[in-house]
Chain A
């Protein structure tokens, strides 16, 4: 089994390598034949994102943007793309992986004869890597690039990570840190008793659930994604859902940001629409916090956080997403929040009791199947 994996990795690397060389050869050919060199890169914008109603996920359209060298707007990006392509080829050849930041540093230098840097910040570098992913049709891990670990997991499951067996029942207070690459060749699921996954928005809430051993009492897996969950976290959830058939239940804030996190987990994001098939979990459910909870749980006025103008604008945008547009429950939910005029964080339930959320709120809602999906 291990040997086969190595073999397939070698094959995969060869494939990626080939793609990069082909890309560069195209440029080389254009250059030497006197044609204007240009890259063609699928666009990662809302206008090039399609909503696949049947599958319930976002998909990337066919739209591509030309990135000619001899255009002021794209000249620098053209150079940056070629620099990253070269860096990645080196990584693959050396059979090493690098963090996003590492790649940024590898390609960052002063342009010969000037005071200008090839890259000024990592914010410039990361989107170029995503461009390369879509241009080459290769995923980030295939490019030997990874992001920082983000998010944690505990629960009734044992996994194997690069051959190390990890018992997620014995992770203490910190949990298993979710790596950015969780593909089957890295992580395999070994033994799982859990019946569902409870995904919470951030570490503080996750700590509450973990301290109260919620996962033990309710036989589940407990995860968080430190806000907007990164690709590693989403991919792992998706695999647990697909491969082990575990439902995903989300406990997020009652605000546009929380709604958007749910939307990304469920349908995928615009900028990573090309990966939706690997990341989106159309079955994911939104348990709370709900706009109605202020009254239903009898919360104190102190927990209210006024909606800002920006929040209101964002909420309307989200309500207009095609995947929410025809969803009566969600239209009602967002409308209720707007009518309330305030948002609430999961932590607001602490005003009832420190463990109200783990002992009353979530169990009751689970039992009543009171959620949005």
Chain B
């Protein structure tokens, strides 16, 4: 510091400690987050709209699952300024999310929607989407700040009873809700919503939209907010698509606003177009603008149990606090405390621990002093304990992962793997991975990574996320994919990673990226490698089959000419010669195919012979019906492996269904035929005919064949 500024600083009259003290006061969480709304994901209008949807949908799904109700969720975004100028970057929207969950009892409404950091999920160790108790109230607060309008809640906790209609605004100073309207109505789900557009009218007319039967109980939340609706990466559409993939048991209806906001620049449009091509939901249907993500499986995820913390997963300060709490409520012994408040502590271990703390089994927990607690804590680290129980986790499951991907991504090959539970910081977690390859996915782009934590899609901060790092660190070259140094693999591939845990370590409150714990990343890599091996095996086989296919093509190309030439010399009937040669060519390559199958089986045999985590959809190459691969198994004889070959395919390529075909169809599932789930599905061009392809259609090209190619019907076309 130079002399001049030093003297100035001295001369200026400073505030005294007393004066400063008058300005020092409590900061309400609501105030803090109102100022720092980017921490919660409300950085810009587009992301704010998405975050609001996300928080509401997460809450709805959690509520349904806790009440063991198969979720039925509607997301409706109304544009409240449809007449705004075309150049407007944002608009005012009314977001309404309705679920068929258990509803909320009247007295809790204010707390749940009107306070930050109030919730049921923070204090327990149980797997759920929400963790902190910030989400939906923050969304309401954002709406209030940007539009001044209160949140509107309809909730119906009893099937026969009335619905509460509550309008509330949050007071950020006090972190409490101020209720402006509170009455009871019969109107649930609100009838107004069914009449929003021609699409909603048509759907509700057939009972497919907000029917009173499907929503016997439930909650509807409406928030008016400043936002921007635009499709593409990081959009509401992408979020719902991915949510549908990770939650195949949920049926989600989405009514988008009538128009998109004006675009920022050309680049984002393109990026958006790519994104939607990569995840074009094949089973998704659209009626008059209403998008339906049908249910893929009909069973709820297994119910999870709440667990006590694991001794190895807590810190010293937490232990001290726990001791204090215990004294305040139970006044029990240390021995009892250890057994009740921790998991995996048997009576023998508890006795050992008491001894280590220099106490007896009858010492009161409240009498434990800090030095003793520290000894106890030390002992926690040294003692051998079983890992925490894993029934607190509900992984998506291999079958559901495949169902979800099959529903959401149009590819040729799908593989999934589910690791067994592991522990980080004393908290159990479980990693699942799935990949989709080929089909309609863009061939030269870097892989697309879709990340989930407790079934919630993570759309932002990809590169900060442990799962993204795990993808980078996996050696995809081993599985016949290209991978530039230090980058994502390139090719038509979508990589999906899911972490299920009682506490997902997010890098920030907006829950956008998973923190980079070594234990977590290692499990992720192992899961990816499992999928990668399956893909590698498939690609090897596909390369072989392609070579065989080309071989056959070459033969077929020339035999017409040969038949003609030989006929011209000998006078033998050209067609007869052609047929004989054609039969030989078929036989020749059929033999080759057979060998290929056997090879394939040998390769598979080295792996787990019972792994069912693979689906191959040969039709995906030509846009054939994916539905058949899904519904196919149901029509097959029991015990027989279903062939996923299309009916029109050449028999020479046929693999005997009994002899371990490479294509394993979805294991027999209870999932609905997508047709039943969405009666209007045929109205979208992307949706496929549910019936078998007409015999007149061009013959199906087997998977490895490069299309288009010439095919030889039985009669030669040459003569």
Contacts and interface: CB of A to CB of B under 8 A. Distances in A.
A34 B717 CA distance: 22
B717 A79 contact: no
Contacts of A32: 572, 576-577, 580
A220 to B, nearest CB: 48
B715 to A, nearest CB: 13
Contacts of A366: none
B159 interface: no
Contacts of B565: 24, 79, 82-83, 85-86
Contacts of A85: 565, 569
B566 A112 contact: no
Report the 6 A-B pairs with minimum CB-CB distance, sorted nearest first.
A24-B569, A82-B565, A79-B558, A86-B565, A86-B568, A24-B570
A89 interface: yes
Contact of B561 (A21, A31, A112): A112
A25 B581 contact: no
B588 interface: yes
Interface string B293-334: 000000000000000000000000000000000000000000
Contacts of A21: 569-570
Contacts of B718: 112-113
12 contacts: A24-B569, A27-B562, A28-B577, A31-B581, A34-B583, A37-B584, A69-B562, A70-B588, A78-B558, A79-B565, A89-B569, A111-B561
Contacts of B581: 31, 37, 69
A338 B230 CA distance: 79
Contacts of B585: 70
A369 B53 CA distance: 107
Nearest to B552: A70
Interface string B486-512: 000000000000000000000000000
A25 to B, nearest CB: 5
Interface in B558-613: 558-562, 564-566, 568-570, 572, 576-577, 580-581, 583-585, 588
B566 A31 contact: yes
Nearest to A116: B557
Given A36-B584, A72-B551, A75-B555, A28 B562 contact: no
Interface of A: 20-21, 23-25, 27-28, 31-32, 34, 36-37, 69-70, 72, 75-76, 78-79, 82-83, 85-86, 89-90, 111-114, 116, 118
Interface in B460-474: none
B554 interface: yes
B580 A70 contact: no
Give the interface SS of chain A, mostly helix, strand, loop or mixed: helix
Given A69-B558, A111-B558, A111-B560, A82 B566 contact: yes
B259 interface: no
Contacts of B558: 69, 75-76, 78-79, 111
Contact of B572 (A28, A34, A90, A113): A28
Interface in B142-179: none
Interface of B is mostly: helix
B209 to A, nearest CB: 51
B710 interface: yes
A370 to B, nearest CB: 56
B584 A70 contact: yes
Interface in B665-719: 710, 717-718
A23 B568 CA distance: 13
Contact of B584 (A24, A34, A111): A34
Contacts of A113: 557, 560, 710, 717-718
Contact of A28 (B551, B557, B566): B566
B368 to A, nearest CB: 81
A90 B565 CA distance: 11
Contacts of B569: 20-21, 23-24, 82, 85-86, 89
A86 B568 CA distance: 6
Most buried by B among A21, A70, A78: A70
Given A76-B558, A79-B558, A112-B717, A89 B576 contact: no
Contacts of B560: 111-113
A112 B559 CA distance: 10
A69 B555 contact: yes
Given A34-B584, A85-B565, A111-B560, 17 more contacts: A23-B569, A24-B570, A28-B572, A32-B572, A32-B580, A34-B580, A37-B581, A70-B588, A76-B554, A78-B558, A78-B562, A79-B558, A79-B565, A82-B562, A112-B718, A113-B557, A114-B557
Contacts of B564: 86
A111 B718 CA distance: 10
A77 B557 CA distance: 13
Contacts of A116: 557
Given A82-B562, A112-B718, A75 B554 contact: yes
Contacts of B583: 34
Contacts of A90: 568
A279 to B, nearest CB: 29
Interface in B39-56: none
Nearest to B561: A79
Nearest to A23: B569
Nearest to A24: B569
A69 B569 CA distance: 18
A107 to B, nearest CB: 9
B547 to A, nearest CB: 9
B561 A83 contact: yes
A89 B561 contact: no
Contacts of B561: 79, 82-83, 111-112, 118
A119 to B, nearest CB: 11
Contacts of B710: 113-114
A118 B557 CA distance: 10
A37 B584 CA distance: 10
A196 B423 CA distance: 101
A27 B564 CA distance: 12
A71 to B, nearest CB: 9
Nearest to B559: A69
A36 B580 CA distance: 10
Contacts of B551: 72
Nearest to A70: B588
A76 B585 CA distance: 14
